[in-house]
Structure 1
Amino acid sequence: MAALRGLRGGLPPFDGEREADHWVRLREVVRSLREQAGVGRADHAVDFAEQVVEVLCSAAQQVTGNAGELPELMQQALSAHALACRRSRPDPHRLASWLVRLQLNYPDGPEVALSEYAEALGPEGIAAYRRTARRACRELPTVPFGRTPRYDRRRWAVVRLMEELALYTGDVDVEVQWLATDLSTPWQYLRIATVLEDAGRTAEALAWVERGLVATQGSRAEVRLVDVAVDACLRLGKTTRALQLARNAFRDWPGLDTYLRLRTVADRADRWPAQREWARRWLRAQAEDTTRNSVLVQILMWDGEIDAAWRAATEHGCADHVWAALAEERVMRHPEQVLPVYRRLVRRRVAVGGAEHAAEVADLLDGLGLAWEKTADDGRAKFHRYLEELKRECAGDRALLTELARRGL
């Protein structure tokens, strides 16, 4: 006990010899505790162990330099406490309260594993532990969407406590509660919804996703939330709501992915033709926006309407990668149309430069060569003259020349 009394005021700056003697005494205390827990009076060992653990934890909080063996000694003392509890079966309510208090008061203390205490706590003690932990969690302020969470010692301790409890008990409500203390990102809403969905609680999962949709409006992560919400609605038979969500997602984030998602939902509701026409009309009404028109072109290509896609691209323009895909679709039937497209795209990619664009230029040149060959009898010769001129202009672009040589161009 002398070693413990010496610790109550913190670890003094001993010289080498006295410090070594200090650690010897501490090891002796912990060894004595372990022996008492194993073969002595377990009820006395419980009280003694709690004193040892708390004093060691308190000393560790005050150490500013090297803590030496304190973490290991703390863990050994707690293990002895768990053993003594299993042998003596102390009051489960008192034990639960002490374990929670230990973790909250000493976040850097030993790690409490509920599996080590389950036998001593029993169902009654586990329930008391759960109530106390959840009460501490309710006191934490929720981090709202868009804010940066700040994990002070208290928050970190409570979250760790709840996480361990959820892991041991498999209690979904406990897991949802600690996850819900941090709603700073869209992914937290997804995590909560996934936990609930995995537990078969689809309606609750949908409610959390709906909350996430309200909080994250304008965020790209909203699309993923919509996906989860749509799946939940379909499982619950809420087809109309699922279709509304899919339409909103397409309108907010027009793209081939959201279009296909809309189709999946509309097919389930047997309403796809009407929804397809709505989506196309909506895009055509905003065709002056090149980005939106690019989506329209991609959709028409996906639906196999290549001529309509070409008209839409020609009238209002589209992104280069969409032009390239469209040219590839038409090169065999209309090489004379795609020839100027390929030449324009090659020039743009060459102007950008950089090793990452060399492969793109080479791909475009493959298409250009095919278009030229299909357009005229001497098309291959014209392409080779064009290619040689391009190489001279790009003599300083080693990445491009290397790629062209690798492709045999």
Structure 2
Amino acid sequence: MAALRGLRGGLPPFDGEREAEHWVRLREVVRSLCEQAKVGRADQAVDYAEQVVDVLCSAAQQVTGNAGELPELMQRALAGHALACRRSRPDPHRLAGWLVRLQLNYPDGPEVVLSEYAEALGPEGIAAYRRTARRACRELPTVPFGRTPRYDRRRWAVIRLMEELARFTGDVDVEVQWLATDLSTPWQYLRIATVLEDAGRTAEALAWVERGLVATQGSRAEVRLVDMAVDACLRLGKTTRALQLARNAFRDWPGLDTYLKLRTVADRADRWPAQREWARRWLRAQGEDPGGSSVLVQILLWDSEIDAAWAVAAERGCSDRVWASLAAERVMQHPEQVLPVYRRLVRRRIAVGGPDHPTEVAELLESLGVAWEKAADDGRAKFHRYLEELKRECSGNRALLAELARRGM
């Protein structure tokens, strides 16, 4: 107690000459605390421990020199306090209040682990701790979508407090509450919905996803929210709503992935043929947009409608990547048709360049060679003449020539 009395009035500023003396006094205080918590009167040890922790936390705000030992001292002091509490069983409401105030007043202080206080707090103390923590969390302003969250000391302290409470109690409402203080990104809505879904609270998860869809309109991450919303709707038997969401997703982000998601939902509702025709009509209505054409070609390829896919690509165009896929599907039946496609793709890929272009060009040339052999009796000879001419034109492209040589071309 004598060591503590010398520190109760606060520590003088740490300076070079007196710093060693301060550390000696702090170590003595912590040593005496741990000893009293083990063998002294438990009720007195609790009061003593709380004073020691307060002194150390105050000291942490004053130290400017080597403070590396201070966090360890604070944690040892708090461990002594937890031991004294287990021995004395103090008033659970008072203990809960002290633990919350410690964390809010000293965000850089020792880490409170609730499992070490569970016995002393009991159900009544845990409930009081939960009420106080949730009240502090309600006071935090919510970071809206699109804003950059700023974690000041108070916000950081409250979030850490709530995280530990949720971890210890497994309370889903506590976890959702602290997660909901930051709605700045689509992923926060997903995190909240996932927590609720994992707890079997599908309806609430869907409500959060719906909120996220409203907040994040226009964001690519909305696709993930739609996926979760569709799955939740199907589990809840809301097939019509699931189908509406899947259609919206396909319209907003047309692609093979959203098309297949639409098919999955429509199959569940026995409405796939109508939805398939709707999706194709919608894509055709996009005019000469290359992106829409590429998606339509991909879809027709997926549905094994090769001739229809070729007709769309020939009429409206599509991306080089999709042309390559289409040519690979058509080369066996109509090799003469894919020859100009592969030659065009080779030229474009060489012009684009890039670190991967030697490999990609070589692969296209291999496919071109197969097509030429199947298209004409002298196809191999024609391909080799074409290849030699191309190599002369690309004589300065050492990476490409090396890749061709490696493949025996």
TM-score bucket of the superposed structures, by smaller chain: over 0.9
Q: Call closer, same or farther: CA 1:62–1:25 in 2, change over 3 Å.
A: closer
**AA partner of residue 35 (structure 1):** E
SS at match of 2:151: coil
Match of 1:297 in 2: 297
1:153 equivalent in structure 2? 153
1:2 is displaced (CA, Å) by 4.4
More deviation, 296-305/395-404: 395-404
Q: Deviations over 1:77-126 (max 9, x none)?
A: 00000000000000000000000000000000000000000000000000
Is the CA contact (8 Å cut-off) linking 2:3 and 2:29 kept in structure 1?
Answer: no
Distance 2:402 2:260 in 1: 39
Q: Distance in 2 between matches of 1:186 and 1:172?
A: 20
- 1:107 is matched with 107
| Aligned counterparts, 1:136-285, within 5 A | 136-285=136-285
- Contact kept in structure 2, 1:284 and 1:293, CA below 8 Å: yes
* Number of residue equivalences: 408
Counterpart residue identity of residue 71, structure 2 = P
Give the whole-Å Cα distance in 1 for the aligned partners of 2:5 and 2:69: 15
Structure 2 equivalent of residue 310 of structure 1: 310
2: CA distance between counterparts of 1:177 and 1:154? 16
Question: 2:225 is paired with a residue of what secondary structure?
Answer: helix
| Contact residue 14 and residue 63 of structure 2 kept, 8 A | no
Equivalent pair of 2:339/2:372 in contact (CA under 8 Å): yes
Mean Cα deviation higher: 394-403 or 283-292: 394-403
Contact in 1 for aligned 2:46/2:85 (Cα 8 Å): yes
Q: Which residue of 2 aligns with 1:12?
A: 13
Give a deviation string over 1:10-65, Cα, whole Å, max 9, x none. Answer: 4524435x422321221111111001001110100101100110111011012233
Q: Aligned pair in 2 of structure 1 residues 25, 254: CA closer, same or farther (>3 Å)? A: same
Match of residue 337 from structure 2 = 337
Q: Distance in 1 between matches of 2:315 and 2:16?
A: 86
CA distance in 2, matches of 1:11, 1:378: 96
Alpha-carbon distance in 2 for matches of 1:231, 1:293: 29
Letter in 1 for 2:16: D
Partner secondary structure for residue 355 of structure 1:
coil
Q: Which residue of 1 aligns with 2:366?
A: 366
- For 2:145 and 2:151, the matched residues in 1 are separated by 16
Shift of 1:377: 1.4
Distance 2:343 2:392 in 1: 16
Counterpart for residue 355 of structure 1: 355
Cα deviation 1:230-260 (Å, max 9, x = unaligned): 0000000000000000000000000000000
The aligned amino acid for 1:350 is: I
Judge conservation of contact 2:137–2:177 (CA < 8 Å) in 1. yes
**Cα distance in 2, alignment partners of residues 256 and 97 from structure 1:** 56
For 2:38 and 2:390, how far apart are their aligned partners in 1?
85
Deviates more, 1:384-393 or 1:199-208: 384-393
Q: More displaced, 389-398 or 187-196?
A: 389-398
Closer, same or farther in 2 for the Cα pair 1:366/1:79, shift >3 Å? same
Q: Are residues 81 and 401 of structure 1, via their aligned partners in 2, closer, same or farther at CA, if it must alter by over 3 Å?
A: same
Aligned-partner Cα distance in 1 for 2:248–2:72: 56
User: Which AA in structure 2 matches 1:15?
Assistant: G
SS in 1 for 2:117: helix
Aligned with 1:333: secondary structure? coil
Aligned-residue offset at 1:70: 1.1
Counterpart residue identity of residue 13, structure 2: P
Are 2:335 and 2:375, in contact at CA under 8 Å, matched by a contact in 1? yes
Provide the rounded CA distance (Å) in 1 between the counterparts of 2:50 and 2:3: 16
- Describe the superposition over 1:293-325 as per-residue Cα deviations: whole angstroms up to 9, x where unpaired: 100000000000000000000000000000000
Q: Distance in 1 between matches of 2:281 and 2:317?
A: 17
How far, CA to CA, are the matches of 2:204 and 2:190 in structure 1?
Answer: 12
Is 399-408 or 325-334 further displaced after alignment?
399-408
Cα deviation 1:129-163 (Å, max 9, x = unaligned):
00000000000000011111000111000000000
Structure 1 distance, partners of 2:120, 2:310, is: 75
Matched letter for residue 94 of structure 1: R
TM-score after normalising by structure 2:
0.97
Contact 2:3 2:28 survives alignment (8 Å): no
- 2: CA distance, partners of 1:235 / 1:253: 24
> What is residue 395 of structure 2 aligned with on the other side?
395
Q: Secondary structure at the match of 1:270?
A: coil
Provide closer, same or farther for how the CA distance between residues 4 and 328 of structure 1 changes in structure 2, counting only shifts above 3 A.
farther
1:129 aligned residue: 129
Partner in structure 2 of residue 84 of structure 1:
84
Deviations 1:197-223 (A, max 9, x none): 000000000000000000011111111
Residue number in structure 2 paired with 1:381? 381
Against the structure 1 CA distance between its residues 347 and 47, is the aligned structure 2 distance closer, same or farther, given a 3 Å change threshold? same
In 2: Cα distance, 1:285 partner to 1:336 partner = 31
Could you say what the CA RMSD is over the residues aligned between the two structures, in angstroms?
1.3
Alignment correspondent of 1:96: 96
Call closer, same or farther: CA 1:68–1:8 in 2, change over 3 Å. Answer: farther
